[in-house]
């Protein structure tokens, strides 16, 4: 059987403090329901600075400057570390971008002249991006400058969505249609945020992994937003729009949606397309969700923490033909939460983990890494969700006990040996299995790991269409170095074999 390989992955974060107030659903709801709340009055007192974001250990792990084992050694909560190690903006996997630069990316991503920046602010953005290695050639796209009075009128009279920096109005996004609710300014901003952060992640993937964008055949976008108009809500296509601005001139693409599980669905699809020979190089990419900024902020502040959901997340990964070196994606070893699987934690874990192991005739312990819902516990614990990666691993261990793979007294030994700490922001789809892909390219080649399982879980009931959960998993293994030879033309192979047989027969006659 032919397999595809994981060639590399990139990860990006964008610090967006002003978007917490103006675009995060929690604060937007608070403004409507309790406009005089103490939470709103002290909002900016509880928002971290860019430097604090960069120095934050989980963020440095996300972009590859810190190994997950190093993060595991730092006492939690990480946000309370008084003297954190000095972080860097750029890492092995990507970068942490400030808000000012990102507003420039919004305009670069905009091809319908909907994003407008205030005149002086636009010049600041141009200056910042002229020093960025991935966007210095796009500076001329920072245009459509407007005076402040025009921006204020566009917001007041035409329902534009404001853009703010240091609590000052610096731009706006205009609506794309007078009536269509799916093209209003709020939705257009959310969609442009997905596109811009996706572009940032994909450009990093190409630059950091030294990949020629022209060699990409197909792009799959797997965020949680959905673009379209009133006639085709969610019709897409984020994938092709991102590919267009990343130099993927020979690619097409499509969007995959399944709430938080979307990226793992996309990974399985990409691996299958390459293994089948449909495409040679497939990219999976996802941008960030502005709606989830500050989602659990009230809980964080209530526990004495700053607002920790203050970054957009993005990632990209490239899946290619087997080169005999990179980790092999076993598209034949998948788990899935079926319609009939049930919704209890045990049923979900059995469907996603146990069934895949049974297919492979492996035990729970034969997998070195389980990457499941890699949410940062600093964020989830104050919100009452506990340590999500640890809880998942305990359930996996419990399934191992039921399967007879490990003895019950060895359960916590299994958990302690296999546990990954969560380092991803709670952007929904961003933490779901895929944060480990960047490390997997090293662990399964030059490292000491042989097998990892990527698990995506989702909450389909959020769409109010079903009460079902969702989830899929896939195995990734160290490459054994064997590369399948191309089959070539069947007729030519037959002729070649016939010729060999005739030659051998002729030789036998001459010997007689």
d(CA 94, CA 311): 14
User: What pLDDT score does 82 carry?
Assistant: 84
Name which of 441, 8, 59 is nearest 202 in CA terms: 8
On the question of pLDDT at 493 being above 70, the answer is: no
d(CA 211, CA 429): 25
User: What pLDDT score does 487 carry?
Assistant: 47
d(CA 454, CA 449): 14
In tens, the pLDDT along 161-177 reads: 999 999 999 999 999 99
Q: How confident is the model at residue 497 (pLDDT cuts 50, 70, 90)?
A: low
The angle at the Cα of 130, spanning 126 to 134, to the nearest 5 degrees, equals 120
In tens, the pLDDT along 28-39 reads: 999 999 999 999
- SS3 of 254, please? strand
d(CA 155, CA 369): 49
d(CA 47, CA 403): 46
Largest pairwise CA distance in the chain: 105
- SS3 of 307, please? strand
d(CA 333, CA 331): 5
Supply the pTM of this predicted model.
Answer: 0.93
Other Cβ atoms within 10 Å of 481 Cβ, number: 9
Tell me if 142 sits within 8 A of 125, measured CB to CB.
Answer: yes
Tell me if 308 sits within 8 A of 376, measured CB to CB.
Answer: yes
3-state secondary structure 96-135: EECHHHHHHHHHHHCCCCCEEEEHHHHHHHHHHHCCCCCC
Tell me if 13 sits within 8 A of 313, measured CB to CB.
Answer: yes
On the question of pLDDT at 133 being above 80, the answer is: yes
Tell me if 116 sits within 8 A of 154, measured CB to CB.
Answer: yes
User: What pLDDT score does 149 carry?
Assistant: 98
User: What pLDDT score does 144 carry?
Assistant: 77
User: What pLDDT score does 512 carry?
Assistant: 55
Q: Tokens representing 183?
A: 């093209």
Buried b (16+ CB within 10 A) or exposed e, 85-94: eebeeebebb
Q: Of all residues in the chain, what percent carry a pLDDT higher than 90?
A: 92
């Amino acid at each position: 059987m032919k397999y595809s390989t994981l060639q590399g992955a990139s990860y990006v974060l964008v610090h967006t403090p002003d978007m917490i107030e103006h675009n995060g659903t929690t604060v937007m709801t608070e403004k409507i329901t309790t406009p005089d709340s103490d939470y709103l009055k002290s909002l900016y007192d509880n928002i971290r600075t860019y430097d604090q974001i960069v120095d934050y250990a989980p963020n440095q792990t996300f972009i590859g400057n810190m190994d997950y084992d190093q993060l595991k050694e730092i006492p939690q909560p990480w946000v309370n570390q008084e003297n954190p190690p000095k972080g860097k903006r750029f890492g092995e996997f990507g970068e942490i971008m400030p808000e000012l630069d990102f507003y420039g990316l919004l305009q670069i991503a905009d091809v319908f002249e909907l994003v407008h920046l205030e005149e002086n602010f636009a010049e600041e953005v141009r200056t910042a991006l002229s020093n960025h290695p991935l966007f210095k050639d796009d500076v001329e796209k920072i245009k459509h400058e407007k005076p402040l009075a025009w921006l204020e009128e566009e917001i007041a009279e035409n329902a534009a969505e404001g853009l703010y920096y240091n609590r000052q109005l610096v731009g706006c996004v205009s609506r794309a249609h007078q009536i269509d609710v799916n093209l209003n300014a709020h939705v257009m901003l959310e969609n442009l945020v997905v596109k811009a952060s996706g572009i940032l992640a994909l450009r990093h993937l190409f630059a950091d992994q030294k990949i020629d964008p022209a060699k990409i055949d197909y792009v799959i976008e797997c965020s949680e937003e959905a673009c379209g108009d009133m006639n085709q809500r969610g019709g897409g296509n984020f994938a092709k729009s991102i590919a267009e601005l990343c130099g993927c001139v020979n690619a097409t693409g499509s969007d995959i949606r399944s709430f938080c599980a979307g990226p793992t669905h996309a990974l399985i699809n990409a691996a299958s397309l390459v293994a089948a020979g449909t495409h040679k190089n497939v990219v999976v990419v996802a941008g960030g969700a502005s709606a989830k900024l500050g989602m659990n902020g009230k809980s964080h502040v209530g526990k004495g923490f700053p607002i920790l959901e203050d970054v957009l997340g993005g990632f990209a990964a490239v899946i290619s033909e087997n080169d005999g070196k990179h980790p092999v994606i076993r598209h034949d070893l998948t788990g899935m939460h079926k319609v009939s699987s049930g919704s209890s934690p045990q049923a979900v874990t059995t469907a996603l983990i146990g069934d895949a192991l049974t297919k492979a005739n492996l035990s729970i312990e034969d997998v070195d890494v389980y990457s499941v819902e890699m949410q940062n516990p600093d964020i989830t614990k104050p919100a009452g969700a506990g340590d999500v990666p640890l809880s998942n691993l305990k359930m996996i261990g419990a399934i191992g006990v039921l399967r007879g793979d490990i003895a019950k007294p060895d359960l916590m030994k299994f958990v302690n040996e296999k546990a990954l700490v969560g380092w991803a922001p709670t952007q929904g789809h961003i933490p779901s299995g895929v944060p480990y892909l960047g490390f997997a390219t090293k662990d399964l080649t030059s490292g000491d790991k042989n097998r990892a399982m990527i698990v995506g879980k989702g909450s389909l009931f959020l769409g109010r269409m079903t009460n079902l959960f969702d989830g899929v998993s896939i195995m990734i293994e160290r490459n054994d170095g064997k590369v399948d030879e191309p089959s070539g033309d069947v007729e030519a192979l037959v002729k070649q074999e016939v010729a060999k047989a005739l030659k051998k027969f002729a030789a036998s006659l001459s010997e007689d």
